[in-house]
Structure formats: C-alpha cells, structure tokens
Structure 1
Amino acid sequence: QALNSSHVEKQILIKRRKYMTMPLTEKQVKNLADKRKFRQCNYIRTLETKTSQLETLYESAQKEIKSLRERITILEKRLTSSGIDGYYCDVNLNDDNIDNSLTSSAKKHNLI
C-alpha cells in the first residue's frame, strides 16, 4: 500500500506542476482575489473582536482600580481617625505596578 500512496503522490505532483505552468484564466484570477479579500476581511473581523474584548477588559480594570483607590482612601481615613500608631503606607503602589497587573490579567485571558 505504501507503493500505491507514493504513486498517487507522484500523480498529484505532476498535476500540480501542470497547473503551475498553465496561464491563469480570468475565473482563476477572480477566485484568487476573492480568497485574498475573504482572508483580509476575516483577519479584520478577528482584530475587531480582539479589540472589543481588550476594551471591555480595560474598562473593567479601570473601574476596579477606581473602586480599590476609593477603598484605600476610606481605610486610610479609618486608620487616621482611630488613632492607631504605626500606620503603614505602601510606597511601591504606583501606576507601573498597576499596569503590570493589567498586562498579566490580559495575558491570563489570552487577549494579548
């Protein structure tokens, strides 16, 4: 059976060579153009979907950041009003750390 499959493969290669040397007809040219247009439209559609997902993720992350910042200010006010000594403030909390966490979150959802 291996002999038959190699024979079939040779026939396919011969046919392929014939088609490659033949001049393209108008219909073939149109088909190639249509295929290219379809691939481009499909690619654009996937990019639009991915963009929409990223925008949604970004908006939800921004909302979460805003609510966390509000919660931090509320908790800071509680700490200062209660008069607890040894109040600790994390100086490493900045926008770079927040951006890194957003990137890792996006990677987790396969959006990047």
Structure 2
Amino acid sequence: MVGWPGSRQNSLFTITADTHEVRHNPEYYVMRHFSKYVRPGAKVLGTTSHFNSMAIAFRNPDGTIVVVTQNALEDERPFEFADPADASRGFKATLAPRSFNTFVIE
C-alpha cells in the first residue's frame, strides 16, 4: 500500500489478489492491544522507562488503567507500574523478549 508519493504505509491486513485470502499483519495485533481495552474518553498517564522499551498507560472513564508495553530487546526485561494517583495500584512483571504486552488494573 502506498500513501503519500514515495512513502510506504503499513496496513492491518493483506488480501491476496488471486485467492482473496486475508492475512493479519503485525500492525493488526499491535492495534488490538489498544483497541480492545482502551475506551473512548481515556486519558493518557505519564510513564518513564529505564531500558530500551516503550510503554504507555491510560486511565479509562470507568477508572481502570490500561498499560501497553513493548520489549524490543532480545532479553527478558523487568517492568513495573504504579498508578500516579494511588501508588498501591500497581504491578511488577517480566516482559518476554520482542513482545507487546497489555496489562489492565481494575
């Protein structure tokens, strides 16, 4: 798929021209981490990280917190999160190598 002239765009699906087979691309699975749990009206919470990974947290309108993380490294990495409004609401986890992870705090 091509977007702006000269740029390549990733798509969520690929459909083969001959068999019309639908293939879910990696971007589809990444999008599911967000779209399944982050609700309309959610607010982004600040996060910090000390290793080569990414994390983003959201507070849903119902008070649940959704944390989506990526560990792009080849090794497991420890991860911890505490609710900025209530440090007792948090968790520690080990992120698998080269993984995306979603955590929901009720």
TM over 0.5: no
Q: Which has the higher strand share?
A: 2
Q: Which has the higher helix share?
A: 1
TM-score, with structure 1 as normaliser: 0.21
TM-score, with structure 2 as normaliser: 0.21
